[in-house]
Amino acid sequence: MSEVMLRENLIASFHALQGQFETSLAEARELDQQFTDLRQQFHRHMETHLTTAQKNLPNDNPLSTQLKGFLSAVAATDTAWNNEISKRDKGIKFRKGFNDSLLVFIYGKVKSGKSSLGNYMAWGHTDPDQRVKEALPTDSHPSYFTHENTCASNGDSQDEALNRREFRVGATEATSSIQGFRLPGLTWVDSPGLHSVNEQNGRLAQDYVEHADLILYTMRSDAPGRASDLNEIRSLNTQGKEMLILVTGSDLNDEYWDDELEEIKVTVQMKSAERRQDQRDVISRELGFINSNHLLSISARYAQEHANDFEKLADSGMGQLFSTLHRISQDKGLRLKKNVPMQNFYNFMQGCQMELSPYKDLIAELETTISRLQADVPKAVTREIRVAQATMRRSIDIDFDELAGRRNEEYLMNVALRKAHRNWDSLLQGVIGQALSNVFAQITEDFKDAVSKTWHAAALKLPDFNLDKAMEQIPGGVRKGNRGLTSGVGTLIGAGLGFVAGGPAGAAIGATVGGSLGGVAGRGAEVSMREVEVITGDNLEQLLAQTHTAYAQAIEATVRQHADFSLTRQLDAALQTARVLTQEVTRTQLGFEELKQTAQQKIQK
């Protein structure tokens, strides 16, 4: 950078380029509209998906918390994007007025010589007074403007540069606005200092710097290579910005005694060439991506005091700066005017892609929660089934202990069993409901309506109580015999007939025969018998076992059926939501990537 050029020649060269500068804002606007449509569609779809999904979940469901997180992310991301869009719109409007000139932006820390350098570029003087301004031809006067002011204390007032036709220098916070001047083919923007005590000043500078065609980064020679400066330069470099690094104030005061005036005089001298080179070497080494020969050590004050001494003007570094600006404007100026809007859009799209990261993180959290529930709920189902079955068993056992006292009364026992059955059915509904409630307290609240429908639809059928019975013969009483009576009667009749036939001897024989016949004709005494039912046992123990089994199976089947149904329905719905959200994020990310690639293709290499 040994070439030297005068300020007047540089300004003349910009004037010649004025008519050649073109704008690519039309292309940038077209891409920006595509982005706006894509972003609005993404926001609308995401909000619809999440609101719908949240309506289908109870408020105490852990998935609701996740979905609320998504809604918050939508709102936060949308706000962040709106802020970025606002800055872009502000910058595009800012650039729009300077499409016929190279937009040079002066950027750096507070008190790094930005305003002094701007005054020298405009007037050839670091702190011009009215005399200096009047000395220049009217057609060479810069046209000043103020674009935005933070109204920070100690800073310049609104339109101060416009009204004074110069930048304020020397104050602690000299610049608190985006201000500048225009010369044919050149727009020079002076920005607030970075790392200002007024934080809004630094933010304002950062809002506008990306819209510059060329950045002049200033750092003081008395503190070159500070980490804060290097970090800012690295950030600008990653954004693909065209940039010159200036080590300002590369001079020192030389004091000597004036014998005639008998007082100390102060003159401005440039720091030694070796010292300036050492400083540039340090900066270059720390940055690692720029050669020290591409850095410039300058002193506008020294150039001002030696405006008519070409050799000293060259030593001030300002001549090299003007030469470099001329070369950039001639070789790269047109390309910069085309590229900067596209490069800004490309960088913006990269930022927008990063804004999608919260969605990816939240989707991952949602899927983790679903996986945990899928693993935990079946375990809870089994646990609650066992608890419900134990509760049911205890109640049945208690009731059967009371029923055992009626086991010899079959009818009454069955009446009591039917009553107990109704109580057990009611208890069954309760333990099933409680089991499902415990399982799905974090999944769903709508299981209660379906609980009774399932087990009532296939109502439990229990066997009747039966007594085991047998028929037995038992004595019914004793019936007296009449054989003695008929024998006596026969004897008398036989004797009578024998007497008639044979006299006394015939009577004896007749009596014997008649008595025998009478005895045969009569009956002896006998025992009477009758049949009765005898209880030999019952099925109470079998009935108890069957009742236990029936209700245990009812609990198992009903709870598992509803658990599986609710688990599948709720978690599948949540998984579907996660898939839809993932698809939406992916679609938008691909859309951003396509816009970014389009911008990159339009950037002229």
pLDDT band at residue 175, thresholds of 50, 70 and 90? low
- Phi and psi dihedrals of 604, rounded to 5? -80, 125
Residue 469 scores a pLDDT above 70: no
Residue 474's beta-bridge partner residues? 530
Q: How far apart (Å, rounded) are the C-alpha atoms in residues 436 and 452?
A: 12
Residue 254's beta-bridge partner residues? 267
Residue 191 scores a pLDDT above 60: yes
pLDDT at 25: 63
User: Per-residue pLDDT tens for 496-523?
Assistant: 545 444 555 544 545 554 555 455 455 5
Q: Kindly report which listed range (240-254, 409-423, 477-491, 530-544) carries the lowest average pLDDT score.
A: 477-491
Residue whose pair of structure tokens reads 């540069």 in the numeric block: 161
pLDDT at 529: 57
pLDDT band at residue 234, thresholds of 50, 70 and 90? very high
User: Per-residue pLDDT tens for 51-69?
Assistant: 887 777 666 666 677 677 7
More confident call, 456 vs 244: 244
More confident call, 116 vs 519: 116
Predicted TM-score of the model (pTM): 0.56
The residue length of the chain stands at: 605
pLDDT at 270: 95
Residue whose pair of structure tokens reads 């609650």 in the numeric block: 384
The CA–CA distances, whole Å, from 307 to 311, 326, 376 equal 10, 19, 83
The CA–CA distances, whole Å, from 98 to 12, 21, 123, 150, 191 equal 18, 10, 20, 22, 16
Among residues 326, 300, 389, the alpha carbon closest in space to that of 117 is found at 300
Q: Kindly report which listed range (28-32, 145-149, 382-386) carries the lowest average pLDDT score.
A: 145-149
pLDDT at 163: 84
pLDDT at 475: 56
Residue 10 scores a pLDDT above 80: yes
